[in-house]
Structure 1
Amino acid sequence: MDINAYIESGVLELYVAGQLSEQENQEVYELMLKHPELLQEVLSIEAAIIKLTAATSSNKNENTLQRIKDQLKFGNASKVVQMSKPKTNWFTYTGWAAALFIGAGLLWTLNQNKELEAQLSDVDTEKAYLETQIEQAKTNLAVKENLLNVLRDRDIITVPLGGQGSFANSYAKVYWNKSNNNIYLDAQGLPEAPEGKVWQVWSLTLNPLTPKSLGTITDFNTDENKIFTIANANESEAFGITLEPTGGSPTPTMEQLHTLGVVTP
């Protein structure tokens, strides 16, 4: 659509003046909703009307009338000049007056539409958030129920990991399910990993002492439950947890061994 051509067509002036049909008014209204330039033009036309109205106050009308009389050389003589009856288009003036109400109504409608759209957007956002929370709760519940079933398995091996050396306050617990080669690590007793560090889990054989990495826990700080499922196909005799640089280490840093636990027969 050529906006400039539409503005120059004079349709907007007729709209403000109230000279269009109901269908034409509706068409202009819908176009203004799509094209802010048209709305701005209508507001400009209405502003011009207001200025024109102010400029034609009663005092100025009298002065203007006197100037016209002077130009026509009207004096105090009783000279009669026959003039045709002025054709006053009251519909036009009514249209201008109605235009002010239309403009105000249009602005009010646009504001109401914006407020309604904002409210609907907020409702949609809140609904989506609640739906996400519900789905997340269902998922968490399913995970917890599955975990409880695992922990209650009679064949599960429980391995407490006690704090070591200067990390006596640290603790963890491993639940080892040999049937599916998984361990479930409850690391609630470990502090958050400092920046640039990660917790690394180790499977150990004792004679000779041989550590095998079971991987790092990269999401430890953000995980709320602090329970992690880790694959373990090793014939583990013990489990340990060390604090290592981001990315992990090929061998455990013994000075950073926080917890250690031996698998009991």
Structure 2
Amino acid sequence: MENLKAYIESGVLELYVLGDLSPEEALQVEEIASQNPEVRDEIAAIELAMENYAMQNAVEPSADVEKKLFEKLGIRADDDLETTSATPQYSDEPRIVRLDNSDGKIRTLRFALVACVALLVVSTAALFITYNKLNDAHDQIASLNLDKQKFAGVVSQLEFENKGLDNMVAMADSKEWATIRMAGQPFSPNSKMNVYWNKKDKSVLINYVAMDLPKTDAQHEYQLWAMVNGKPVSLGVFGKTDSTTNEALQKMQTIQEAQAFAVTIEPMGGSVNPTMEKLSVMGGV
């Protein structure tokens, strides 16, 4: 399995041990574990860690458990059973058969019964406490997984922005690239964007980090235009500026000459002519 370390560190094995996966997800974990000793070892380590955690945090019941148990059974802890010899009687009264001298055996059986019931109570209490501890551990694991996902998202965003900034610096220092800074128009006065035009091969690049455009909905996207002798020429469309799934740089269509560049908001797929009332940014060469 590719990237097995990332799979082990994803938190899915902890959720499997806690029983918090669907049957299909649990089956997938078991199939992967059957093929990868590292996964089997990790599952065993997680089970052992949770068992140790439960044992270390177990709470022993108080000393009056036996007293309360006797009270529930209607027996006093210091009561003894009466034992005398049996004498047969023939009357309408119920016949009572008394036991021989077996006080020691009865006392032993009674305390054995008490010990069993007390052990059951203790075990039930321990299981209840362990269940609560496991629930707390589950919540902590879920919180850690959420924090891990948020951290991964932040790292991805930082890498994306760092790459864009590095390219901005490289192009600013290069004599082959011209930087066209476009300013906001009445439709979106606070917007801005840079376009990079190669003087040698006439290629055009946009940098997602070096732009701030108005948000679009699912039915619209941005379209880049070059003004050539007073006429708009489409250089292609591009997506949302807040998407880190894009590369920091995107190559657009080449243009041999241009007097200005502009961006409008158009329906998905672009338009033949720009929608001037949605002109967002524009800048001269």
- Same fold per TM (> 0.5)? yes
The yes-or-no answer on 1:106 pairing with 2:124 is no
Distance 1:228 1:139 in 2: 10
Contact 2:187 2:277 in 1 (8 A): no
- Once the 2 structures are TM-superposed, how far is the Cα of residue 96 of structure 1 from its aligned partner? 1.4
Q: Within 5 Å, which residues of 2 pair with 1:1-265? A: 54=72, 56-57=74-75, 71-72=94-95, 83-86=99-102, 87-88=105-106, 89=109, 90-161=111-182, 166-167=186-187, 169=189, 172-179=193-200, 181-184=203-206, 186-188=210-212, 190-193=213-216, 196-206=219-229, 209-220=230-241, 229-237=250-258, 238-263=260-285
RMSD: 3.8
For residues 190-244 of structure 1, give each alpha carbon's deviation from its aligned partner in whole angstroms, at most 9, with x where no partner exists: 43346744332112321xx543322223313667xxx863423121313222232
Contact 2:223 2:265 in 1 (8 A): yes
Q: 1:126 to 1:256 in 2, by over 3 A?
A: closer
Distance 2:187 2:272 in 1: 22
Q: 1:82 to 1:251 in 2, by over 3 A?
A: closer
Considering only CA atoms, is the larger Rg found in Structure 1 or Structure 2? 1
Q: 1:131 to 1:85 in 2, by over 3 A?
A: farther
Contact 2:226 2:261 in 1 (8 A): yes
Distance 2:156 2:277 in 1: 43
Q: 1:124 to 1:191 in 2, by over 3 A?
A: closer
Q: 1:153 to 1:146 in 2, by over 3 A?
A: same
For residues 26-51 of structure 1, give each alpha carbon's deviation from its aligned partner in whole angstroms, at most 9, with x where no partner exists: xxxxxxx9xxxxxxxxxxxxxxxx99
Q: 1:167 to 1:228 in 2, by over 3 A?
A: farther
For residues 102-138 of structure 1, give each alpha carbon's deviation from its aligned partner in whole angstroms, at most 9, with x where no partner exists: 2212211222223223323423442453344335423
TM value normalised by structure 1: 0.56
Unaligned 5+ runs, structure 1? 1-32, 34-49, 62-69, 74-80
In structure 2, give the amino acid aligned to 1:249: S
Contact 1:214 1:230 in 2 (8 A): no
- Once the 2 structures are TM-superposed, how far is the Cα of residue 153 of structure 1 from its aligned partner? 1.4
Distance 2:133 2:284 in 1: 70
In structure 2, give the amino acid aligned to 1:252: P
Contact 1:193 1:220 in 2 (8 A): no
- Once the 2 structures are TM-superposed, how far is the Cα of residue 255 of structure 1 from its aligned partner? 4.2
Distance 2:113 2:143 in 1: 44
SS at match of 1:219: coil
Aligned equivalent of 2:45: none
TM value normalised by structure 2: 0.53
How many residue pairs align between the two structures?
193
Contact 2:215 2:240 in 1 (8 A): no
Aligned equivalent of 1:65: none
Contact 2:221 2:239 in 1 (8 A): yes
Contact 1:162 1:168 in 2 (8 A): no
Q: 1:141 to 1:233 in 2, by over 3 A?
A: same
- Once the 2 structures are TM-superposed, how far is the Cα of residue 249 of structure 1 from its aligned partner? 0.9
Unaligned 5+ runs, structure 2? 1-50, 52-67, 80-92
Distance 1:232 1:149 in 2: 21
Report runs of 4+ in structure 1 exceeding 4 Å deviation. Answer: 50-53
SS at match of 1:252: coil
